[in-house]
Homo-oligomer: A and B are copies of this chain.
Amino acid sequence: MADTVVFAVGGDQLHVLLVRRANAPFAGAWALPGGFVEPGESPEDAARRELLEETGVTVRALDQIGAYGDPGRDPRGPTLSVVHRGLLPELVDVQAGTDAAAAAFLPVRQALARNTELAFDHRRILSDAVDGLRADIEQCSIATALCPPRFTLSQLRRVYEAVWGHVIDAPNFRRKVLMTEGYVVPLGRTAAPGPDGGKPAHLYRAGKRVTLTPPLYRHSAH
């Protein structure tokens, strides 16, 4: 099998893309989009296909984050699921596929809440995926994948704050990001200020660097 965890940031909260299952087992429960790998497909191909079929969503890149093969994870019989992670720059519109009752972005906090039922071992998978994202964002430049093509440093900072769940000192964040050569590339332009006014911010795009050395530490602020 191939399941996918798609993250996006919206409203200062980290969201995950889920589908509501129409059929047994776990009918009515939320689940990660996914399905079976067809002959000739790589697991990543299958993940991308199932994601499109079930939610209408396409992602630029999918990274493998683990394989879950515990016997008993599926009541229908032993299966092995290769799980990939995708990142989107915004909460895009979602269209539920034929075998899904619904598809939507849920805040991760809500998806992992006690009263939300997740199918199979998807609670465990999602929990691992969140931990992995929090770690990777510290060491790698993947945070730009959660931003639009052109973004301000405040937008990038809000991605970190949403993923880590705490505020970051803006001046220090700015210095760290700009000091890390190749992380972001300045564009000449400046963005329009927000609805509350404020100084217009410079625009940047993602650079070519993939590893952040030194990392952006996720110490709790204050």
Contacts and interface: CB of A to CB of B under 8 A. Distances in A.
Contacts of A37: 69, 80
A66 interface: yes
Nearest to A73: B42
A66 B44 CA distance: 13
Given A80-B80, A80-B82, A82-B80, A69 B43 contact: yes
Nearest to A214: B217
Interface residues on A, range: 10 to 19
A39 interface: yes
A128 to B, nearest CB: 11
Contact of A71 (B40, B66, B70, B82): B40
Contacts of A82: 67, 69, 80
Interface in A55-98: 64, 66-67, 69-71, 78, 80, 82
A96 to B, nearest CB: 27
A41 interface: yes
Interface string A26-46: 000000000001011111100
Contact of A42 (B40, B43, B71): B71
A129 to B, nearest CB: 14
Contacts of A41: 71
A40 B69 CA distance: 10
A192 to B, nearest CB: 41
Given A39-B78, A42-B71, 15 more contacts: A37-B69, A37-B80, A40-B78, A41-B71, A42-B69, A42-B70, A43-B67, A44-B69, A64-B67, A66-B67, A67-B67, A67-B82, A69-B82, A80-B80, A80-B82
Interface of A: 37, 39-44, 64, 66-67, 69-71, 78, 80, 82
5 contacts: A37-B69, A37-B80, A41-B71, A64-B66, A64-B67
